[in-house]
Amino acid sequence: MSFSDDGCFLASVGKRSNVWDVRARKRCGAAKPFSHENHIDIAPDSRRIVVKNTLGDVAIYDIDLVVEHVSLSGEPYGEGDDVRFSFDANFIVDSSWRGDFLVRDSNTGEVVWKSKIPGQRVTCRRDRMVWCFATDEGLGVQRWPFWDTSPTVYPYPDDRSGFGSFALADSGDRVAVATPGAVEVWALEAFTGRAVVAASWPTAISGTGDAVAWHPSGTLIAHAGARSASILTAELAPIWHEPFPFPSDVAFSADGCLLAVGDWSKGAVFALAPS
């Protein structure tokens, strides 16, 4: 799922790609560019949607999911992780599980920059100016634009690399991580050059996937998995819990007032009480 930066829209993928009018609480667009969609993002200017499927195919639509602007085959890259617009919406960034890290022109689909890092998965800060990617060696952090910068790689805690989804805090120095059986917060320590476990919260092993998201304030973390959605403090003390049959994703709105929970059967959007 993905909220637009202005909070007007929520995009989701399931049996098809959907855009929801948040204020009106109704769907305002739907499309099925290909089978098995699994990632979606809304451009920062709220004018376009990008969708990716499990084969690595990518399509870019207008916000109403009516006009298709770009259609890209997954070949030769194949299955991969999330796809996101750059901060100015001029590019899309995604990765493949074989290690392709790609930046493509969002108007033409042309590859303008690429790197090869085995095992890569990609996420970014809310402003899309700092990006974080998982490699076989550790967590890499790199500023946009990638062609003008180099990544800083933080080796994993205890030399481990097995984990699911992760999210970079807007401060850029903490990462929320969904591991098998736990949610953790890793501190990216500049003085040691390593990722260090700062907090851990045990969970059941999930069969529907796990997802984590930072609240814009940096004081809360949402988790979906193990048949529930939860909100935790940054120190991983639970403060809210709601059962879901097949939870798979979570997302906070840019103003922090809404939490969207994705579920394989039916998702929900919750209004958060003022802090």
> In the prediction, which pLDDT does 12 show?
96
Lowest mean pLDDT among 33-37, 169-173, 207-211, 245-249: 207-211
**HSE toward the beta carbon, residue 194, CA cutoff 13 A:** 9
On whether the pTM is more than 0.85, the answer is yes
**Rounded mean pLDDT, 144-150:** 96
Neighbour count for residue 35 (Cβ, 10 Å): 11
pLDDT in tens, 188-223: 999 999 999 999 999 987 777 789 999 999 999 999
Could you tell me the CA-to-CA distances from 85 to 126, 159, 179, 201, 265 in Å, in that order? 11, 32, 26, 31, 27
For residue 160, pLDDT beyond 80: no
pLDDT tier at 125, thresholds 50, 70, 90: very high
List the one residue out of 113, 75, 115, 81 whose CA is nearest residue 97. Answer: 81
> In the prediction, which pLDDT does 216 show?
96
The mean predicted confidence, pLDDT, of the chain is 93
> In the prediction, which pLDDT does 162 show?
67
Give the helix, strand, coil percentages of the chain, each rounded to 5: 0, 55, 45
For residue 272, pLDDT beyond 70: yes
pLDDT in tens, 50-71: 999 999 999 999 999 999 999 9
Q: How far apart are CA 198 and CA 115, in angstroms?
A: 30
> In the prediction, which pLDDT does 14 show?
87
Residues 6+ apart with CB under 8 A from 159: none
**Rounded mean pLDDT, 127-155:** 93
Q: How far is residue 13 CA from its own chain's centroid? A: 13
pLDDT in tens, 219-263: 999 999 989 999 999 999 999 999 999 999 999 999 999 999 999
For residue 119, pLDDT beyond 70: no
> In the prediction, which pLDDT does 275 show?
56
> In the prediction, which pLDDT does 44 show?
97
Q: How far apart are CA 30 and CA 177, in angstroms?
A: 31
